[in-house]
Structure 1
Amino acid sequence: MQRTMEKIAVWTGHLARLALWAAGIGLVLMTVLIAAQVVWRYVLNDSIVWTEPASVMIMGWFIFLGAAVGIREGYHLSFDVLLYLLPLRAKLVLFSISDIAVTAFGAGMIWYGWQLAARTAGNMLPSLGISGAFDFAPIVAGGVLIVLFSIERVFRRAAGLPTARFGDDPGPA
């Protein structure tokens, strides 16, 4: 099981790196669009109508992609005070419970994000000329990555592999 999980970890590591790069590029692109809007509005006394909704949509992508990568790397919000007092085996159980809860949250993102996208698919975003479903696509994509990365963490832990979280390394077998 360890070999299989190591191979899966390499694949999900590449996926996480790709998501992080996409999030970083989205952050830079959003910044450029907002800067262009400011220049057009206050220097040229005109406006680019599509930059604000495009920037908000891009922001959704980099937030949800970055959050998914943060979950994979163990940077999501947690309350760790009790964990400093517990033995390693108890910590691993609590980490797995946490990852299962995060998996359920990601599944909810997929389910409800998909419903929101389906309900707004017929609406057109006037300044962009695309379906309103695109506003909710980052929720679904982020949910898919959160589920994938959380399940990977549970299986890596079950295989005795570290999950890149402080205190979550089982050490030598």
Structure 2
Amino acid sequence: MQETMKSVAWVTGWIGRIALYLSGAALVTMTAMIAAQVFWRYVLNSSIVWTEPGSVMVMGWFIFLGAAVGVREGYHLSFDVMLMVLPNKAKLVLYSISDVVVIAFGAGMMFYGGQLVAKTSGNVIPSLGISGAFDFIPVVAGGFLLVIFSLERLFRRAAGLPTARFGEVMPDEDRDTASEGAA
């Protein structure tokens, strides 16, 4: 099972990298759009009508894609104070409960985001000339990524593999072999 999970991790790692690069590109794009709007408004005394709704739409992409990658990489917000005093097995159980909650949240994002996409698909954003559904597609995409990344974490943990860079322990036998290899 460990070899299978390593293959899955390779695929989800690439998905995560692509999502992170798209998120970074969206952040740069939004920054450029806002800078252009400020320049046009205050220097040229004109205005670009599509930059505000366009930048809000692009912001949705970098927020939801970046948040999903943060969950996969173990960089997302967590409260670890109680975990510092618990034994390793209890920590792993709590990490797994956390991942199940994140899966449920991601599924909710997909379901309710899909409803928003369906309800706004007939609306047109006047300044952009595109469907209002584009505002909510990042919610669905981010929810999907949360689900697959959290499922990966659960299965990696079940296979005895580490799942995060920070804050998570390895099972005792993996820690012993890792420390022997480091010595």
Residue correspondence of structure 1 range 32-47 to structure 2 within 5 A: 32-47=32-47
Residues 26 and 62, structure 2, Cα contact 8 Å, conserved in 1: yes
In the TM superposition, what is the alpha-carbon distance from 1:75 to its structure 2 partner?
1.8
In the TM superposition, what is the alpha-carbon distance from 1:170 to its structure 2 partner?
2.2
TM-score by length of 2: 0.92
Residues 113 and 137, structure 2, Cα contact 8 Å, conserved in 1: yes
Secondary structure of the corresponding residue to residue 8 of structure 1: helix
TM-score by length of 1: 0.97
User: For the aligned residues, what is the CA RMSD?
Assistant: 0.9
Cα distance in 2, alignment partners of residues 42 and 107 from structure 1: 44
1:124-162 per-position Cα deviation (integer Å, ceiling 9, x unaligned): 000000000000000000000000000000000000000
Give the structure 1 partner of residue 92 of structure 2. Answer: 92
* Structure 1 unaligned spans of 5+: none
| 2:78 aligned with 1:78 | yes
| 2:168 aligned with 1:167 | yes
* Structure 2 unaligned spans of 5+: 175-183
Q: Which 10-residue stretch deviates more, 161-170 or 109-118?
A: 161-170
Give the structure 1 partner of residue 18 of structure 2. Answer: 18
Cα distance in 2, alignment partners of residues 58 and 169 from structure 1: 38
Cα distance in 2, alignment partners of residues 167 and 99 from structure 1: 13
Cα distance in 2, alignment partners of residues 16 and 171 from structure 1: 28
Residues 100 and 150, structure 2, Cα contact 8 Å, conserved in 1: yes
**Equivalent pairs: percent with the same residue?**
68
Residues paired across the two proteins, number: 173
Cα distance in 2, alignment partners of residues 113 and 14 from structure 1: 24
